[in-house]
Structure formats: C-alpha cells, structure tokens
Amino acid sequence: MSEILEKLNEAQRQAVVATEGPVMVIAGAGSGKTRVLTYRVAYLLELGVDPFHILALTFTNKASREMTARIIALVGNSEAKNVWMGTFHSVFARVLRIEGHRLGYPSNYTIYDSDDSKRVIRNLIKENTLDEKLYQPGYVAQRISAAKTSLISADEYESNPEIQEYDNAAGKPLTGKLYMQYRSRLMRSSAMDFDDLLFNMNILLRDFPDVLIKYQQKFKYILVDEYQDTNYAQYLIVKKLAANNENICVVGDDAQSIYGFRGANIQNILNFKSDYPDYKVFKLEQNYRSTKTIVEAANNVILNNKNQIFKEVWTDNDEGSKITLLHASTDNEEGNLVAQAIFEHKMNQQLPNSSFAILYRTNSQSRIMEEALRKLNIPCRIYGGVSFYQRKEIKDMLAYYRLAVNPRDEDALLRVINFPARGIGKTTVEKLIVLADEFKKSLFDLIESPPSTVRFPESTWAKVTGFITMIKSFGALLKTKNAFEMAKHIAASSGLIKELHEDKTPEGVSRFENLEELFNAVKEFTETPRTNPETGEIEENVVRTLDEFLQDVALLTDADFGDKDDTDRVMLMTVHSAKGLEFPYVFVVGLEENLFPSIQSLNSRTDLEEERRLFYVALTRAQVKLSIAYAENRYRWGNLTVCEPSRFISEIPEKLIDFPKRSQPKKESFMSSDNFSNMLEGLNLPPRKFAAQTPQKSSLQQNPKLPPPKPFLPPVDPAISSLPPSEIEDIHTGMDVQHERFGKGKVVAIEGIGPNKKATVFFSGIGQKQLLLKFARLRIAE
C-alpha cells in the first residue's frame, strides 16, 4: 500500500501496521526502535488519522525532537507538527495550564526544577530548626519525590502508619511534616515541581471524569517510547488515557532499563500482557548497529540476568575486530592507554574525533580521561556536569522572569530580593517569612497588602516595597512587549547586568557570557512561531511573550541548549547519558568491582541486574569497535584503593576478547605510570611527566605490519617510534620527510614542544596532515 512500509523489515513492518489495539514492541539495542515509532505515526497519518488525535510520549526532549524531525521528513511539516508529541512532563504541563484551575493552580503556574525544590526544602528545614545533618535536603526531597511518584499525597503520607514507622526508624519522624509544609509552600507560590506535573495529572484524571473523557477522546492513538523507564505515575496516566480506545503502542527494551533508582519500574513492561490481555507483541531482534562480536558479547552478558523477556538479538553485519581489554596499573594510566589508543586509531585511519566515545560509570571519572586526552591534544567534550540552567547567574536572571510572570513565586523572590544588594537583609527576610506563615499569604501578597499590625522600620519598608513595585512594573509590561524586549528590560532594571558587568574576574566574565547566551535563547524563542497549547496548531504572527518562554524553559535541560558546539570532539559521558546514542569506537572504562558494578548495587539482585543492564547499554553503543578498560589502583574519595577487575568482564566470552599480552614481568607494567604508583611499588622510576613523553603502545594498534600488541612494554620501545626523542628535536620546518603511509612530504610548520611536538606536513597527492611526532614514525628523507 504505502511506500513507507518498504523501508522496514518484516518485524518492523508488522509493528507499524498493527495500529488498532494494544501493542508492545520489544526492541533490542540498535534494532530500529525509533524507526518503528516514527513510521507508525507516519502510517497512522497516511491512513487518515487526524494528527490531533495522536499522542506520542518520550522521556527526553531530544528524543521528541528527533522523532518530530523524522516524521516531518516522512509526511511533511504541516501534518507532523500537529501531532501531540513531547515528553511526559511537557505534554502534561500543557494540559495542566488548561485544566489546573480545577486543582487551584492558575494557568501561569511556575515549574520548580529539582534545585528549586531543594532550596525550598532546605529553607523549611532551617525554619523548623531541624538538624541539617539529619534532615538533609536531598534525602527529604527524595522521600517526597518517591511519594509523589507513587501517588501518595502529603496527607496520605502523614496519616500512613507504615510510612511513619519507616521515618521513625530512619530517625527522621518529621519528614511527613516537611512534606506537608512543602506542599503548602508550593501551593502558596502557585508552583509545581516536576513530580507534581505527573501527580496532578493523575489527580485530574481520577477526580474529574469530564477531564478524563475529554483527553481519552482527544488521544485516540497513544505511543510511548522507552516504556521500560516509566514510573508508576506515568504508567497510570497512560493506562487511564488508553483505557477507552486501547490503541496503545509501547516500545521498549527491558534489557535497557537503567533508571530503577529514580522510580522507573521494569515491571510496567513485564506486566503489559496482564494489563492488556489481548495485546500483540512484536520483537525487533535484528541489530543494524554493531558488529557480530559486539552483539554476541552483549547477548552473553545480559544472559546472566534472570528477570527478562526472552529475545535473541542478531546481526547481519561483519564479524568485526575483537574487543580490546586494556589493563592499566592506575587510573591515570588507564586514561593514557585510552587516549593513546584513540590517537592511534585516529592517525591510522584518519578518523574524526567524534567517532570516539569514552563511557564511564561515574562523572568523577571524567577528569582523568579529559587530562589524558589533553596531553595528546585530542579535543573532547564532557557531557553532564553543571547544566546551563543550574548556573547561579542564569537562575538569578530567570528568577526575575519568574517573578514578573508569577509574583507569588517565593523561591524566586527569596533568591533575588537582595541580589543585587539593595539593603534587604537576613533579618528582614526572616521576619517576612514568619509573617507570611502567620497570615497564610505569599510573601508578595503580604508585602503588597500588609495586615495593619505589621510594622517595619520606615527605611526598610521603603526598600521592600520598592522591590515589589519593580516586580509589578515588570508584570505590567509582560503582555505588551515581546520576550526579548522584556528580557532586556528586566536585565537592565533589576541591576543584574550591571552587577555582572562590573565583575572583571574570569568567572565574572564567564557569567556575563552565560547571560548573553540566555539572551540569545530568548531571542531565538521570540522569533519562533507559537504553537497553540489547546489545539497544537501553529500560529504565525503572534507575539511571543516572556511567560511563554518561561513555560518552555522550565522543562529544558542543558542537553537541549549548548548543542551549538558541533566542533569535532571525542565524547565523554556516563553510560546513563549515552543511552540512545551510538559511536563507531567506544571505550568503556573503569571496569572494576565496586565501581562498575557500583558498590551500592551489590546488596540486592535487582540492583546488580540493573547494573548489568547498564553494562549492556554501554556495550551496545559501539558500532565498529569496542574497548574496555580497568585499573588496578584508583583514587577514590582522595585515597588510592586497590581494585579488582569487574565481574562483567568475565561475562564476555573469552574468544571475543583480545587480552593484554603479558610478555613482560608484571612489575614492568608500572614503568609508564604516574609517580605515585611507582612509589607504591617501591620502584625508583621516571617521574610522572615521562609517561606523556613516551606513551606506550596500546594493544589497539590495527596496522598489520606492526609487531603484535605489547601494552606493558617499558617506555622507550623501538616499536613505538623509529624516532628516538633526540631525533624528534631534529625535525624542522622545510625538511623533507618520509611517512609510512603517506609517503614523502614537506614539513610546513612545527608547533608544541616535547611530547606534544606537532608537525604540519604537506604530502603530495594527499594534502596537509597534522602529525604528532612521537607517533608519526617520520623519517628524515635523504
């Protein structure tokens, strides 16, 4: 019927055309999951289904954008744009803007991110004069979040004896009280946190039958991506929305469920058949991503898990090369081995940096990898870390925006009432908070219309009301100016720009630049046409205002922002953030017991299985070549700890692994490492710098002409370079040189010194190449 279907394999096609009734698609890694989802939407549209009746839910903005783009490519812009496609949070935030009044929220309610929530909780803990060491904001936040995710309200939490007992046993009997206070504080601020978006959506569907019916009729076809990652609140929303039509299609891979720790429930996918007895299941088992070696390794690893849906992932791709195991004596050496391996692959095969990814279990491992790459002048980009929107200067600026839109937002008010400093001190703020509690008013309402008993010193009161007046003036301009004009106005009137501009320290300059970035984002938003929240339709020529910007921004993360840096870099990220991505060359590092698997996972089978799925995710990111690495010694929390190789390594069949050759006595392996480990071993060996100057040859070498891999050779191995260090010094601009692969060339330029000495060489017929001399094996031509 349709040309759409021609580009699918049999299993994919079946999953796409089964449009009616409950469908579960079990999609192995690299099996074309997104393809099925996008083609299914396109197919529905082709069948004549109204795009407004299709709801497609994803977990990340990125996934949602990607799907939108692909559907547009298939069916064109006008149809695709009208599909309700987005993350759980963004879609239900939209619904709550429309329906939230039933629960007492205005349509301009503010969304608190997890930092905002924690700030509120921290303040509450202080106000209650509780011991901050016992009641850690993070802990309390997590308890509240877990409760909301399980749809337990503050009242239910407080009155539930089992929960009370649990908190008593934990020595934190007042957690429930904090939950109650937190709830009223947010309510008073007209704010919802991320969990509230899902919680309140559930309440709407539970308590307001007309709302339930309205959205059941609206969303006739529902698709859910990454179903294995849904938590209870998300699961229940989907179930309720789908209850009438049961045209629900969930796609996922139980083997890639790695978010149990934040409430994702793998049982949701395992229980699909009991929820929808007449369901159809389709398994996508052909992997299009990786070599046979990689697929086989991953299959064998995941086989060790008990709790899973049976499937057999296979591939038609080549056998590929074996998995390289890099064995280092220390974490620093691990970094060096990986960096060298990347360097050699790059040089031998002229690959871009972006074909490499280094994946680790914890963010703290990124620094060593970054340093090792820097030593070899390999540019890299670290994902994660402090997100753009979490930076203080951005949060401060956004707090002014938030106040303009919703002056009752107390978190925002407390953040900037005295920043830049305007003489409103701690004492004043504390008094105001006490009064706000007493009169059950938001801080803003209290200051705007104070009860007659409230008395403040004249000058103090002038400052406070001055601030409030400024906020009100922002609010008054909101609907007349566009977002960008408004942003500029607020930045100037609040004094924030001046404050930062005067700070000439490097940090200050960087903060200022971040604000410029924010303005760019606002400008871009201002120039993007509006989507009607009720219908999803695109409305041209409508002024975009700052309150709309804020609604968008609350649900964005840095992953949605700094993507402008598309320069060619090696990617460094945690395994978690690598999910859904693929790279030709992947290095999974830190494969040690207590690190990967993490020490916290060793107590329960469930946690260990999740950890194994995480390893499975790591392995299946690789397309061409996989390398895994571990170190014998590693700094953790400031001390050197001795590590054992991860059990996961032994779960990969030996025949798939290229083991490090141990032709040298073991102590030789310390020769290249950093000085600390040398001291440990009581060896008097060259200092740290030396490792960088004379890198070892890693076992990743692919050139068949070279001798077999010898990862632990002493530093000056003739196989590394035909050029001893002194000879490197002899290479100068203008010289004719000979390269093993590129032939004769002329040195155009020299830069860097010592180990990082680089030559730009022009090879006739090939062009200009940058070569790091210690690797390039250049000979001076006659």
Of 19, 34, 164, 760, which one is the catalytic site residue? 34
Minimal distance in Å, beta carbon 266 to DNA? 14
- Beta bridge pairs of residue 343: none
Phi/psi for 4 (5° steps) reads -55, -40
C-alpha span between 575 and 496 (Å, rounded) = 38
C-alpha span between 307 and 560 (Å, rounded) = 34
Active-site residue flag, 488:
no
Phi/psi for 102 (5° steps) reads -65, -25
Q: Which is nearer to DNA, 261 or 492 (CB)?
A: 261
Residue in 104, 106, 173, 423 binding DNA, rule: CB under 7 A: 423
C-alpha span between 183 and 303 (Å, rounded) = 44
Interaction of residue 493 with DNA, rule CB under 7 A: no
Give the amino acid at 672: S
Give the amino acid at 372: A
Q: Which is nearer to DNA, 258 or 342 (CB)?
A: 258
Of 119, 511, 613, 621, which one is the catalytic site residue? 621
Interaction of residue 183 with DNA, rule CB under 7 A: no
Interaction of residue 600 with DNA, rule CB under 7 A: yes
DSSP, collapsed to helix, strand or coil, labels residue 278 as coil
Active-site residue flag, 226:
yes
Active-site residue flag, 119:
no
Q: Which residue has the tokens 């002329």?
A: 746
Q: Which is nearer to DNA, 58 or 694 (CB)?
A: 58
Interaction of residue 489 with DNA, rule CB under 7 A: no
Of 79, 113, 167, 225, which one is the catalytic site residue? 225
DSSP, collapsed to helix, strand or coil, labels residue 491 as helix
Determine contact, residues 738/779, Cβ cutoff 8 Å. yes
Q: Which is nearer to DNA, 231 or 721 (CB)?
A: 231
Interaction of residue 364 with DNA, rule CB under 7 A: yes
Interaction of residue 262 with DNA, rule CB under 7 A: yes
Q: Which is nearer to DNA, 122 or 530 (CB)?
A: 122
DSSP, collapsed to helix, strand or coil, labels residue 627 as strand
Determine contact, residues 473/480, Cβ cutoff 8 Å. no
Concatenated DSSP letters for 632-690? EEEEETTEEEE--B-HHHHTS-GGGEEPPP--S-GGGGGTTS-HHHHHHTT-----THH
The residue among 255, 262, 219 whose CA lies nearest residue 237 is 219
Determine contact, residues 774/721, Cβ cutoff 8 Å. yes
Interaction of residue 549 with DNA, rule CB under 7 A: no
Minimal distance in Å, beta carbon 338 to DNA? 18
Single out the segment in contact with DNA by CB under 7 A; choices: 281-289, 363-371, 538-546, 724-732: 363-371
Site string for DNA, 718-737 (x = CB under 7 A): --------------------
Phi/psi for 683 (5° steps) reads -100, 140
Interaction of residue 531 with DNA, rule CB under 7 A: no
Minimal distance in Å, beta carbon 463 to DNA? 9
Minimal distance in Å, beta carbon 1 to DNA? 35
Q: Which is nearer to DNA, 425 or 754 (CB)?
A: 425
Interaction of residue 122 with DNA, rule CB under 7 A: yes
Residue in 35, 89, 402, 774 binding DNA, rule: CB under 7 A: 89
Residue in 38, 68, 87, 694 binding DNA, rule: CB under 7 A: 87
Interaction of residue 559 with DNA, rule CB under 7 A: yes
Of 13, 33, 283, 346, which one is the catalytic site residue? 33
Q: Which is nearer to DNA, 151 or 748 (CB)?
A: 151
Interaction of residue 184 with DNA, rule CB under 7 A: no
Residue in 77, 168, 170, 261 binding DNA, rule: CB under 7 A: 261
Interaction of residue 664 with DNA, rule CB under 7 A: no
Minimal distance in Å, beta carbon 252 to DNA? 14
Phi/psi for 294 (5° steps) reads -65, -45
Q: Which is nearer to DNA, 103 or 608 (CB)?
A: 608
Interaction of residue 605 with DNA, rule CB under 7 A: no
Residue 169 neighbours by CB distance under 10 Å: 9
Minimal distance in Å, beta carbon 683 to DNA? 20
C-alpha span between 298 and 320 (Å, rounded) = 14
Residue in 90, 202, 494, 551 binding DNA, rule: CB under 7 A: 90
Residue in 1, 169, 421, 753 binding DNA, rule: CB under 7 A: 421
Single out the segment in contact with DNA by CB under 7 A; choices: 97-105, 633-641, 656-664, 767-775: 633-641
Give the amino acid at 507: E
Concatenated DSSP letters for 160-193? -HHHHHHHHHTT-TTHHHHHHHHHHHHHHTTEEE
Q: Which is nearer to DNA, 613 or 739 (CB)?
A: 613
Sign of torsion, CA 41 44 50 53?
Answer: negative
Q: Which residue has the tokens 């403040």?
A: 456
Single out the segment in contact with DNA by CB under 7 A; choices: 25-33, 130-138, 239-247, 693-701: 130-138
Residue in 153, 300, 353, 577 binding DNA, rule: CB under 7 A: 577
Residue in 48, 638, 665, 682 binding DNA, rule: CB under 7 A: 638
* CA Rg value for the chain: 29
Residue in 7, 101, 206, 367 binding DNA, rule: CB under 7 A: 367
Site string for DNA, 306-345 (x = CB under 7 A): ----------------------------------------
Concatenated DSSP letters for 712-730? T--S--TTT-SS-HHHHTT
Q: Per CB under 7 A, which of residues 38..77 are in contact with DNA? A: 59-62
Interaction of residue 34 with DNA, rule CB under 7 A: no
Sign of torsion, CA 754 755 760 762?
Answer: positive
- Beta bridge pairs of residue 583: 622
Of 79, 116, 226, 548, which one is the catalytic site residue? 226
Interaction of residue 560 with DNA, rule CB under 7 A: yes
Determine contact, residues 442/403, Cβ cutoff 8 Å. no
Active-site residue flag, 621:
yes
Residue in 245, 418, 664, 760 binding DNA, rule: CB under 7 A: 418
3-state SS of 20-60 is: CCCEEEEECCCCCHHHHHHHHHHHHHHCCCCHHHEEEEECC
Total residues in contact with DNA, by rule CB under 7 A: 51
Length of the chain: 782
Phi/psi for 293 (5° steps) reads -55, -45
Q: Which is nearer to DNA, 190 or 257 (CB)?
A: 257
Does residue 709 have a cis peptide bond before it, meaning omega lies within 30 degrees of 0?
no
Interaction of residue 362 with DNA, rule CB under 7 A: yes
Determine contact, residues 701/326, Cβ cutoff 8 Å. no
Interaction of residue 136 with DNA, rule CB under 7 A: yes
Structure tokens at 139: 């802990």
Residue in 555, 589, 591, 776 binding DNA, rule: CB under 7 A: 555
Q: How much of the chain is in helix, strand and coil states, percent to nearest 5?
A: 50, 15, 35
Rounded-to-10 torsion of CA 285, 289, 294, 295: 0
Q: Which residue has the tokens 């155009």?
A: 748
State the catalytic residues.
Answer: 33-34, 225-226, 256, 621
Site of interaction with DNA (CB under 7 A): 59-62, 87, 89-90, 113-114, 122, 132-133, 136, 138, 145, 194-195, 258-259, 261-262, 361-364, 367, 384, 386, 392, 418, 421, 423, 425-426, 555, 557, 559-560, 573-574, 576-577, 598, 600-601, 607, 611, 614, 635, 637-638
